Structure 1
Amino acid sequence: MVGTTDDIILQTQGLTKDFKGFTAVSEVDLAVRRGSIHALIGPNGAGKTTCFNLLTKFLIPTRGTITYKGEDITRVKPADIARRGLVRSFQISAVFPHLTVLENVRIALQRKRGDSFDFWNSEHVLKELDGEAARLVEAVGLAEFSRHQAVELSYGRKRALEIATTLALDPEMMLLDEPMAGMGHEDVDRIAELIRRVSADRTILMVEHNLSVVASLSDRITVLARGKVLAEGDYATVSKDPRVIEAYIGAGHG
């Protein structure tokens, strides 16, 4: 038993996705506690990406249900679940390369208000958004780069900007799709610390390959293999599970 119903913010039951005879995700039961950092891991081909795309509504399940805050969202569109506080970072939060860091965050704030753009709004309204945008930019450690175009940022700082634009949507739950992908050691440490900070008052579910990051950040881990849940628990538990060790070695991971 993971927790009471009130403890669980996101839950799946029997989540399954078939692709023309191939089952990528099979009967996955997942329960994410409120206020936790929950990692979804597994060797290559385990079904992590498909599962994540099902949870974030970029794919529709063949069978099974997805419940968010007690409400069935199995057939709800991605934009609609974002408005309910379930936001996928690095997909919904696009960064515009030739706008400044501040302008990128301001656009995300405009989206939260329900306006596509505020070109015709008063300067007073835009200045109000600038103040809120500046606070978010500072929160992710980019204050000194606020007037820089996004294209000028290092890879890790672009990821920090993407997190800022996600935070601008005021999510109750953030879904992070491989936040450390392609990063050097210094950027990994910076973004890991940022994720730890922003998790203080929200729930985070992340797919991540960097197991040292998973070990340091995650409260709970679900391990997938061949589309099914292989093991679940804290890092100390799953890392010692013989089935998990075999799955990673069998897939060519050391």
Structure 2
Amino acid sequence: MVNSQPILSATGLSMEFRGFLAVKDVTLSVNEGTVHALIGPNGAGKTTVFNLLTKFLTPTRGRIMFRGADITRLKPAEVARLGLVRSFQISAVFPHLSVRDNLRVALQRPSNLATQFWRSSNVLSKVDDQAMSLIDAVGLSRYEHLPAVELSYGRKRALEIATTLALDPTVLLLDEPMAGMGHEDIGRISELIRRIAKQRTVLMVEHNLNVVADLCDRVTVLARGEILADGAYDVVSADPRVREAYMGTEHE
């Protein structure tokens, strides 16, 4: 259910690199219980904004709030512990481990088993139920014993998302989750994100506008480091400024 209250917000966010202002006074709100997309043409500043929100960069100016707390100066690991988790932070899949064992490893930290992994081969059995639940949630039950290296690209991305979910994030941040995928995999990952969003807030950078139109409750469009438009997809996609930014003309 969509909540009208912001769970993650930025006010006056700016980022300067050696005199170049890559992000200029960005103010946005991600409402709890929504799927929110950050889109824009190449060079729009999407990655920089995403890195600022996930704390891989510290803004030159501005403030970032998460669940009512100022996180502007926190480190990525600190905000991850608060429940703001970026997919690639923990999505390094071990190629020669099975799907199941990848999930068992990912579940070590939240289960306080990280320092016990090498002490006993039986320790990770404590997280088997959780691992199987996550595997089922991302549609990989048929592949639980398959080495990750043998998965298709789309299923490997599903496994990466599952390892992220092992931290039980409140807000899941996905950086171009459909990149490099074929039509079938895009459909599979879109449906996965839709299921995830029933219990979590999702913020995603995405280039596939068909995915954005189908999946997202709200869209923020960036151009040249500034917010060009913000709102429902059908509204922002009809904005002449957005069309011009993407197509180089105000006309289709």
List aligned pairs for 1:10-89, cutoff 5 A: 10-89=8-87
Tell me which residue corresponds to 1:127.
125
Mapped to 2, the partners of 1:205 and 1:192 lie a distance apart of 13
TM-score after normalising by structure 1: 0.94
Aligned pairs, number: 247
How far did 1:121 drift?
4.4
Secondary structure in 2 aligned to 1:67?
Answer: strand
Question: What is the RMSD computed on CA atoms of the aligned residues?
Answer: 1.5
How far did 1:115 drift?
3.8
Q: Find 1:191's aligned residue among 189, 192, 196.
A: 189
Tell me which residue corresponds to 1:250.
248
How far did 1:91 drift?
3.4
Which runs of 4 or more aligned residues in structure 1 lie more than 6 Å from their structure 2 counterparts after TM superposition? none
Mapped to 2, the partners of 1:25 and 1:112 lie a distance apart of 34
Tell me which residue corresponds to 1:238.
236
Which residue identity is paired with 1:197? R
Mapped to 2, the partners of 1:243 and 1:12 lie a distance apart of 23
Which residue identity is paired with 2:144? S
**Distance of aligned partners of 1:152 and 1:169 in 2 relative to their CA distance in 1, 3 Å threshold:** same
Mapped to 2, the partners of 1:42 and 1:58 lie a distance apart of 20
Mapped to 2, the partners of 1:196 and 1:105 lie a distance apart of 21
Q: Find 1:148's aligned residue among 146, 149, 160.
A: 146
Tell me which residue corresponds to 1:219.
217
Mapped to 2, the partners of 1:63 and 1:109 lie a distance apart of 36
Tell me which residue corresponds to 2:206.
208
Which residue identity is paired with 2:227? V
Consecutive unaligned residues in structure 1, runs of 5 or more: none
Show CA shifts across 1:204-254 (max 9, x none): 000000000000000000000000000001011000000100111129xx8
Mapped to 1, the partners of 2:103 and 2:13 lie a distance apart of 34
Consecutive unaligned residues in structure 2, runs of 5 or more: none
Q: Find 1:167's aligned residue among 150, 165, 168.
A: 165
Mapped to 1, the partners of 2:92 and 2:248 lie a distance apart of 36
Which residue identity is paired with 1:199? A
How far did 1:90 drift?
2.6
Secondary structure in 2 aligned to 1:180?
Answer: coil
Mapped to 1, the partners of 2:176 and 2:231 lie a distance apart of 20
